[in-house]
Amino acid sequence: MAREESTREAYGRTLVELGEANPNIVVLDADLARSTQSQMFGHKFPSRFFDLGLAEQNMIGIAAGLAASGKTVFASTFAVFASARCFDQLRMSIAQPRLNVKIVASHGGITVGEDGFSHHAIEDVGLMCSLPGFTVIVPTDAVEAAQAIRAAAALLGPFYIRLSRPKTPVIHEDGYRFVLGKAVTLRPGRDATIIAIGVMVALALEAAHRLREIEGIDCRVLTMPTVKPLDEEAILQAARETGAIVTAEEHLLQGGLGSRVAQVVSSHQPVPMAFIAIKDVYSRSGKPAQLMERCGLTAEDIMDGVRGVVLRKARQMAFRLGGR
Stretch that binds other proteins, among 90-98, 173-181, 243-251, 314-322 (CB under 8 A): 90-98
Work out whether 85 is an interface residue with ligand TPP (CB under 6 A).
Answer: yes
Work out whether 204 is an interface residue with other proteins (CB under 8 A).
Answer: no
The total of other beta-carbon atoms located within 10 Å of residue 242's CB is 22
Query: Annotated catalytic, 56?
Result: yes
Q: Which residues bind a second copy (CB under 8 A)?
A: 80-81, 83-85, 87-88, 91-92, 95-96, 117-118, 123, 126-127, 129-133, 252-255, 258-260, 262-263, 265-267, 270-275, 280-282, 319-321, 323
What is the nearest approach in angstroms of other proteins to the Cβ of residue 28? 9
Give the residue with the Cβ less far from ligand TPP, 115 or 215.
Answer: 115
Name which of other proteins, a second copy, ligand TPP, none residue 33 binds, using a CB cut-off of 5 to 8 Å depending on partner kind: other proteins
The total of other beta-carbon atoms located within 10 Å of residue 119's CB is 18
Work out whether 103 is an interface residue with ligand TPP (CB under 6 A).
Answer: no
User: What is the C-alpha to C-alpha distance for residues 108 and 89, in angstroms, rounded to an integer?
Assistant: 20
Name which of other proteins, a second copy, ligand TPP, none residue 65 binds, using a CB cut-off of 5 to 8 Å depending on partner kind: other proteins
Give the residue with the Cβ less far from other proteins, 119 or 228.
Answer: 119
Work out whether 118 is an interface residue with other proteins (CB under 8 A).
Answer: yes
Q: Which residues 6+ apart lie within 8 Å of 94 measured at CB?
A: 60, 63, 64, 67, 101, 103, 131, 133, 134, 158
What is the nearest approach in angstroms of ligand TPP to the Cβ of residue 97? 17
Closest residue by Cα to residue 16 from 44, 37, 35? 44
What is the nearest approach in angstroms of a second copy to the Cβ of residue 131? 8
User: What is the C-alpha to C-alpha distance for residues 316 and 92, in angstroms, rounded to an integer?
Assistant: 47
Work out whether 92 is an interface residue with ligand TPP (CB under 6 A).
Answer: no
- Cβ atoms of 233 and 260 closer than 8 Å: no
Report DSSP state, residue 109: B
What is the nearest approach in angstroms of a second copy to the Cβ of residue 174? 35
User: What is the C-alpha to C-alpha distance for residues 117 and 99, in angstroms, rounded to an integer?
Assistant: 31
Residues 56, 144, 249, 250: which is the catalytic one? 56
User: What is the C-alpha to C-alpha distance for residues 230 and 22, in angstroms, rounded to an integer?
Assistant: 29
Work out whether 215 is an interface residue with other proteins (CB under 8 A).
Answer: no
User: What is the C-alpha to C-alpha distance for residues 82 and 93, in angstroms, rounded to an integer?
Assistant: 14
- Cβ atoms of 203 and 289 closer than 8 Å: no
User: What is the C-alpha to C-alpha distance for residues 40 and 44, in angstroms, rounded to an integer?
Assistant: 6
User: What is the C-alpha to C-alpha distance for residues 242 and 220, in angstroms, rounded to an integer?
Assistant: 8
Which positions are annotated as active-site residues?
56
Q: What residues line the site for other proteins (CB under 8 A)?
A: 26, 29, 31-35, 39, 47-48, 50-55, 57-71, 80-81, 84-85, 88-89, 91-93, 96-98, 113-119, 284-287, 290-291, 294
